[in-house]
């Protein structure tokens, strides 16, 4: 086997892919580092829940602004440097969080994630697109890499209070340790990526042939990219909205205690991780639309059951709602395989996509929370999300029909 072999056959693809997933795993730990220690952080800094929540959301707000330029940077400097810089910035964020003395400093520290994070999350699909050209293998790779940050988050949730805080003594020391984990992941990635064969796809210089505005305009005008954006906005709204409020929904609808509701929500998340590993691999290009329709239909039915079903049906419905995790992976595959997305403009394409879909992600938690405070309660939120899924299914159906018509005409 030589570096000139087709990328889908080169065994090094799994080595470099594993190093990237390790970076993404460490990134996921930082994203959920503070929530398990929220009480201690609030007491130390003297802030309210709302102020801490505002600080924790700093990275998501910045993502909307930074994702598109980050994609352009990735196309120019390449994946190896982009992931290294991104991982170093995540480590910097954790370090600054560990020494924060007030809410403003904590907001700025978490905001660094919104600068470094896109360099990782946008490089990952570009790397997969370059190294995994076989459709089935690419789908599996997307499922694996999108699970990495979620597994990192579970690591933080499961081990922070039971292991890390007792071992290290406090929340600041835990964050410093997790910063070191990110530095180790960055170093491993740098060593592995330096030994990689020549990049299989087009080099980053090709992205500079068009001005940024012209390249962005061309991508946004492409039907496949627009479809991925529309589906992604809805998917991120639903996944982020449920991530924030599913435990509270279960507590309100089923009468479970807060601890039991949180445990069942965690079980739903675990099911989502397993589904994210398995479902994208089943979604071959010729049946991807069918799999997407099936997942969205299952989610919509589960939401209706949770909204109107008898008490005993709420927990099973919540477990089915764990399938929401697969939506993002499947929509990324739609974008990755759009005809207009190439190796030269992939970073920009993913940047534009993330900027669009994070509008849905950032608006999901507050809108679902507003439903919960209103007279309609979470029942109204669940019905609204089920209706959103129905609209997404219709948009996908129309797109599929347009593609079939174009092929028939050709």
pLDDT value for 358: 84
- Give CA–CA dist 371/212, Å, rounded: 39
**Residues 238 and 129 grouped into a single domain:** no
Structural domain range at position 77: 9-194
What pLDDT does residue 269 have?
A: 81
98 conformational bin, left if phi > 0, alpha if psi -120 to 50, beta if neither: alpha
Within a domain: residue 283?
yes
Per mean pLDDT, which of 83-97, 205-219, 257-271, 341-355 is the most reliable?
83-97
- Asked, for residue 205, whether it belongs to a domain, the answer is no
- 181 and 260 together in one domain: no
CB atoms within 10 A of CB 275: 20
Kindly state whether residues 371 and 222 are assigned to the same domain.
yes
Residue 78 sits at φ, ψ, to 5 deg, of 95, 160
235 plus 267 within the same structural domain: yes
Provide mean pLDDT across the span 261-266: 78
Give residue 407's pLDDT: 67
> Which of 86-95, 120-129, 367-376: highest mean pLDDT?
86-95
Q: Is residue 378 domain-shared with residue 309, that is, in the same domain?
A: yes
Q: What is the mean pLDDT of the chain?
A: 86
Residue 353 sits in a domain of what CATH number?
Answer: 1.20.1250.20
Average pLDDT over residues 165-192: 96
- Predicted local confidence at residue 206, as pLDDT: 45
pLDDT tops 60 at residue 8: no
Q: Is 200 inside any structural domain?
A: no
pLDDT at 382 exceeding the cut of 50:
yes
**Are residue 362 and residue 335 in the same domain, yes or no?**
yes
Confidence of residue 154 (pLDDT cuts 50, 70, 90): confident
Least confident of 90-104, 140-154, 313-327: 140-154
pLDDT of residue 201: 52
Q: Which of 75-79, 195-199, 293-297 has the lowest mean pLDDT?
A: 195-199
Q: Which of 144, 161, 194 is the last residue of a domain?
A: 194
Look at the chain and report how many structural domains it folds into.
2
Q: Answer yes or no: do 162 and 110 share one domain.
A: yes
What tens digit of pLDDT does each residue of 181-221 get?
A: 999 999 999 999 988 776 555 444 444 456 667 788 888 88
* CA atoms of 395 and 224, how far apart (whole Å): 12
Residues of the chain with pLDDT > 90, as a percent, come to 42
Judgement on whether residues 120 and 230 belong to the same structural domain of the protein: no
Residues 121 and 60 occupy one common structural domain: yes
Of 139, 164, 194, the last residue of a domain is: 194
Q: Which tokens go with 203?
A: 């080099």
């Amino acid at each position: 086997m030589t570096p000139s072999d087709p990328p889908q056959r080169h065994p090094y693809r799994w080595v470099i892919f594993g190093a990237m997933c390790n970076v993404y795993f460490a990134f996921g730990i930082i994203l959920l580092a503070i929530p398990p220690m929220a009480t201690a952080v609030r007491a130390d800094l003297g802030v309210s829940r709302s102020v801490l929540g505002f600080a924790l959301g700093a990275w998501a707000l910045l993502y909307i602004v930074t994702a598109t330029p980050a994609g352009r940077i990735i196309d120019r400097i390449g994946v190896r440097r982009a992931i290294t810089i991104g991982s170093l910035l995540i480590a910097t964020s954790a370090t600054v969080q560990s020494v924060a003395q007030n809410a403003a400093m904590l907001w700025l520290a978490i905001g660094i994630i919104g600068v470094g994070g896109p360099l990782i999350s946008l490089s990952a699909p570009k790397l997969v697109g370059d190294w995994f050209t076989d459709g089935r293998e690419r789908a599996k790779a997307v499922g694996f890499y999108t699970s990495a940050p979620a597994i990192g988050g579970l690591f933080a949730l499961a081990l922070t209070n039971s292991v890390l805080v007792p071992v290290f003594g406090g929340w600041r020391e835990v964050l410093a340790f997790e910063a070191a984990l990110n530095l180790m992941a960055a170093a491993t990635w740098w060593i592995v990526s330096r030994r990689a064969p020549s990049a299989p796809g087009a080099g980053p210089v090709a992205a500079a042939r068009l001005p940024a505005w012209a390249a962005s305009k061309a991508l946004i005008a492409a039907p496949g990219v627009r479809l991925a954006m529309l589906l992604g906005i809805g998917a991120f709204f639903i996944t982020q909205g449920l991530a924030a409020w599913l435990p509270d929904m279960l507590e309100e609808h089923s009468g479970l205690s807060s601890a039991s509701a949180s445990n069942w929500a965690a079980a739903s998340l675990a099911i989502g991780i397993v589904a994210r590993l398995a479902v994208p691999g089943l979604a071959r290009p010729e049946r991807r639309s069918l799999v997407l329709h099936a997942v969205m239909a299952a989610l919509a039915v589960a939401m209706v059951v949770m909204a109107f079903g008898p008490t005993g049906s709420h927990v099973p419905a919540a477990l089915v709602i764990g399938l929401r995790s697969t939506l993002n992976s499947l929509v990324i595959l739609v974008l990755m395989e759009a005809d207009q997305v190439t190796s030269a403009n992939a970073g920009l394409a993913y940047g534009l996509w993330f900027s669009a879909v994070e509008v849905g992600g950032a608006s999901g938690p507050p809108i679902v929370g507003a439903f919960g405070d209103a007279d309609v309660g979470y029942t109204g939120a669940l019905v609204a999300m089920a209706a959103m899924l129905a609209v997404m299914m219709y948009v996908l159906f129309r797109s599929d029909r347009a593609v079939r018509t174009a092929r028939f005409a050709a």
